[in-house]
Each structure stands twice: as C-alpha cells, then as structure tokens.
A and B are shown apart, each in its own frame.
Chain A
Amino acid sequence: MTLLSPSTPRSRFAPARLAAVAVALVGALLLLAALARVTVWATPSHTVVRVAGQAGKPVVDTTAAALALDGPSVRVTVRAPDPGQNVFVGVGRAGDVEAYLGNAARTEVTGVRGSDAVLATPGSETSLPEPGGVDVWALAMTGRGSATLVWPRADGSWRLVAAVDGATPPAEVVLDWQREHGSALTPALFGVGGLLLVLGLVGIGATRRRRSPVLGGPAPGTDLRHDDEADDEDDDVPVEQTPAPFRSERRS
C-alpha cells in the first residue's frame, strides 16, 4: 500500500492531462498547417500571364489593382507583331494614364485567375497618340521588336500601358509578377504551433510525474488510514512506486 493523498490522483490530474493533450494536438495541427503553407498550399513565387493584343484595340493596359498584385515587382515584356516595329511599355499615375487613354479601345488586365489574365475591353476609339510621345510616364521603355520593363512596388495607384504606335496592337504582353514568399502568417504558425506542442508535451509529462505520492498529501505518519474503495481506485491507475522510505505496509 502507498502513502498517498486520500483524494485520488485520477480525479485531480485527468483534466490537466486532457488539457495538455489538447494543447499538444492544437500545436501539432498548427505545425502541419504551416508546413502545408510552405509546401502544398505554397503561393507560387511568380505569377505569369500572357495577353495577346486584339485587333482594333491599340493598347494592352492594367488596372491599378491588377498591377498592385502583391509582390516586390512585376516584369513586363511586350512584343511587336513585326520585329522591325518599335514597341512601348510604360507605367504612370493611374489618374494620368486614365486621362491619356480616354475612350481608347483597349485590352485591360483587371486581375489574374491562376495563370490566366482576367480581361476587360473598355473604350471604342481605335487609335490614340503614340504613348512614347506623351509625358505621363514615371517609367517607360521602348525597343525594336520587344521591350521589357521591371516595375518595383511603389506607393500610390499606377497603371501600365503596352503599345506599339497607338494604332497597332502589340502581338503579346507577358506580365510576370514576382510574388511574396509565404506571408507573416507562416512563421507565426510555425512559432505558435511549436510552442503549443512543446507546452502540451511538457504538460503531459508533468501530469504523469505529479502522480507520484506525497505531494499535497498529509505529512508522513499523520494519517495512515484509508478506505478500501480508495485503494481499489488506486489499483486502476498505474502509480509510480515511491522510494522505500515512504513505503509502508498497511496496518490493520
């Protein structure tokens, strides 16, 4: 017979152990979620869409929201239908670009869905002044046959225009957004998940150890009596045996 508290260990430690298991479980789930975010649910490091110019629509442009897709930069390459033609790609303040485009017919990228551009086709004018000849661009590139521009993330609303001469549509515009790698949530999931898992495991271990005798019980020798029922319950729980000095045979 052990020298244990009259109240049984099971009734005192079961809820704490349950809580520790729950905490460990939540921690493990959070770790799994974090792992999934950097593997199977990972955001691609690039989003690339290809937009073909359409007859009668002399420019391909983006809305401010589409150009601002999260990420440090977007790389835009425009190709002319004829390699001998000059092409233009430029980015300007959204308001200025809107004023320049006016009612010009255009192929407008309003967002992306997977690896496809979501397009709109506003405007009806089939030509507009050559974009290289106006001064609404904060950054612009021209080139023979093709031109490439890298637009870094910048405060404000910006729109992109790709064109040839204001009358001929470009053959193709490739927009390549460099995306954010993960997000602030992923490290947080790893951190919180790991912490909870460790706490849970420690808790489980602690509840095991706390089933050792004496702690919380009467001082040795002050109460050596206990009833059989309690003793029976003790038998249900694997109790770590206390060292010899605290062990005693029940006296009848």
Chain B
Amino acid sequence: MRRREFLGAGVVAAALAACSSVETGTPTAEPATPAVLPGQARHVLEQVDAALARAVPANNPRLLGTRLTGPASREWNARLTVAANRKQKLTAPSPLQVRRLILPAVNPWPRWFMAAGTSSGEPTPVLRVFRSVTARNPYGLWSELSLLPGASLPDLASPLSGTPVLAPGDGKGLVAAPSAVVASYARALTAGSTATSQFAPDQFRQQVAGQTAADRRKLGVAGIASVSNQHRPSADGLVALRTQDGGALVVAALEQLYDVKVRAGSGVVSLDPDLAALARASSVGRSLRRTSVETVAFRVPPAGGGVVTVIAAAKADVSAVGS
C-alpha cells in the first residue's frame, strides 16, 4: 500500500513538473549576411536625405543631428555657416539613385557601408560612405566622394554575404597596409609631386598641387606672404574592404593644414568670399590657417599587383582662422 502511494505521488509530481516546464525555442545557425542588410541601408539613406532636407534650406547645422558624421558633418557645418554668414540659401543634395550597395560582413563597431550611384546636380557618379561608431549611434553620412574621370569601383569579395573588412594595419596580401597607403598619399600630397612610384597619377593630386603652387607663386614671388601646406591622415579614420582580386578598396580621411604668413609691413591678403565668411574676416594682415578635410578612395592591388590608384575623392574647407 505504501509503495503504491509513493508511486502515485511520484506520478503526480512528474506530471506537475511537466506542466510547469519553461518553454523556449532554439535559434538556428546564423546565416551569412552583411552587417547591414539592404533594407537597413536604404532606411539609413532615407534618414540622411531627410536630415539634409531639414537642415540645408534652414541653414541650421543642428538640424543635421546624428545623421551626418565625421568629415561630412564638419563639411556641412562649415557650408551652412558660410551660407548663413553670406545670407545665401543652399539647396539640399537630391536623393541618391543607388546603383550599388557595398555592405561589409558582420564586424565590430565602428561599422561602415557604402552606396554608389548618381545624384541629380552631380556631374559624376558619387560614392556615399556611412559610419556607425557604436551600436547606440546611428549610421551617418561620413563622406560623399566623386568618382574621378575614367575610374570605376572594383568588384568586392562576397558582395551578398558581406565583404570582409580589413584592419587598417593589415597589409597581408596587399602592396601595403591600408594605413600605410594613406600615410604615403598624405606625404605625396604634402610634397606636391605628381609623380611617385607607389601611386598612379590622379586628377585630385594634380589639382591640390596646382592650387598650392599657384598660391605660392601669387603670394611668395611678390614677397607678401609665405605659404606652407601639410596633409596628414585624419582622426576620422578609414575603412578597408577586400576586393575580389585579393586587393582592397580603402576609403580614408585626410586633413590639410594650409598656413599663410603675411610678412610684416607688406599689406594684407584678401580672402575669397566663402573663405572670408568662414574666417569671419575679409582679409588677413598677419596669418591665416585654413583647414580642409579630404576623403580619398584607393584601389589597393594585391601584393605584386602594381601601383595604388585613386578612384574617388572629395575636399572641403571646414575652418579658417585669420588675423
């Protein structure tokens, strides 16, 4: 009898335990998808366009919010400040007609993605680069680069499941590490030479070197002022993605520091209207420091694959301090 009671109690206990068990599911294996899904990327593009559409007509940089970041944020802050000082109205860039999304594989933050396409009002195709610093920061437009004449974006590795991201210092299999490429290019820009063994000649470097040379001729020959020029990798960072041929697509930010020292007693140097609005001075009698952000996209070939090619670039003044 006692055994039967024990048995009954056991059955009841087992039944109760079965009824009160916690139900959960089993997540399946993670499929190979990019860190940013195409739908998410389009949402970001819309949000960025909406932020520009709010801020630009109002000449109000604060309305850009967090949807612009890095070099693009600095550039648009400066442009809207200049427009406000000059009492001008800018028009917001038209939405990008996306031809191609470049979506990296899942990787730690900061995360990036790119969209290439055309924008009405832009004579050449553009490459928009987006960055999210942490999971708690939204993706913002980091830069919009114009493709250089004759250039095209390389085919990227694993475009559907997410292109592998390379660490800035990872030069394995490349002619040089991405960070080394950027540092070398900054030195080449500073030197003003259009011929270096590591880089193919490009229109962006020609224009930068040409402008500096022209200013030096104009101011230096007359003995009014001296011009110095320095380009350096920016704290805004870089992104490097593996290309299908084993090379890399590298997009990096640089900074140009352009100094004009006016010789005492030689008069003043007039500034062009936009620069004057940024510096809040129409001329300088002692010195001027002009800071610009430059973003450059490189095609870095695999080791032994030849020279590095610049395929897209952008440049904008972000500050000017004169006296």
| Chain A residues in the interface with B (C-beta under 8 A) | 47, 63-70, 93-96, 99-100, 102, 110-114, 118, 128-129, 133-138, 155-158
Contact = CB atoms under 8 A, between A and B. Distances in A.
A99 B138 CA distance: 13
Q: Looking at A96, A111, A135, which has the most chain B CB atoms within 10 Å of its CB?
A: A135
Contact of A156 (B21, B24, B29, B137): B29
Interface stretch (B37-45, B186-194, B269-277): B37-45
A156 B138 CA distance: 23
Contacts of B39: 138
Q: Is the interface of A mostly helix, strand, loop or mixed?
A: mixed
Given A95-B106, A113-B22, A134 B136 contact: yes
Interface in B11-41: 19-31, 33, 36-37, 39-40
B31 A69 contact: no
Given A113-B22, A138-B40, A156 B27 contact: yes
B37 A68 contact: no
Contact of A68 (B22, B26, B109, B134): B26
Given A129-B136, A134-B135, A138-B39, A69 B25 contact: yes
B24 A65 contact: yes
Interface string B131-142: 010111111000
A155 B25 contact: no
A165 to B, nearest CB: 14
A67 B25 contact: yes
23 contacts: A65-B26, A68-B24, A68-B28, A69-B23, A69-B25, A93-B30, A93-B106, A95-B106, A100-B135, A102-B135, A112-B22, A112-B24, A113-B21, A113-B23, A114-B20, A118-B22, A129-B137, A134-B135, A134-B137, A135-B138, A135-B139, A138-B40, A158-B27
Given A128-B136, A135-B132, A157 B24 contact: no
A155 to B, nearest CB: 5
A57 B310 CA distance: 50
Contacts of B135: 96, 99-100, 102, 134, 136
SS class of chain B's interface: helix, strand, loop or mixed? loop
A135 B27 CA distance: 22
Contacts of B37: 138
Given A96-B135, A135-B132, 20 more contacts: A63-B24, A65-B24, A65-B25, A65-B27, A68-B27, A69-B25, A99-B109, A99-B135, A100-B136, A110-B22, A111-B23, A111-B24, A114-B20, A118-B22, A129-B136, A134-B135, A135-B139, A138-B39, A156-B27, A158-B27
A93 B107 CA distance: 13
A62 to B, nearest CB: 10
Contacts of A63: 24
A112 B139 contact: no
B29 A155 contact: yes
B66 interface: yes
A23 B166 CA distance: 66
B110 to A, nearest CB: 12
B138 A134 contact: yes
A100 B136 CA distance: 5
A141 to B, nearest CB: 13
A30 to B, nearest CB: 20
B29 A69 contact: no
Contacts of B40: 135, 137-138
A47 B30 CA distance: 25
A195 to B, nearest CB: 29
A111 B36 contact: no
Nearest to A159: B27
Of B24, B44, B139, most A-chain CB atoms within 10 Å: B24
A48 B39 CA distance: 29
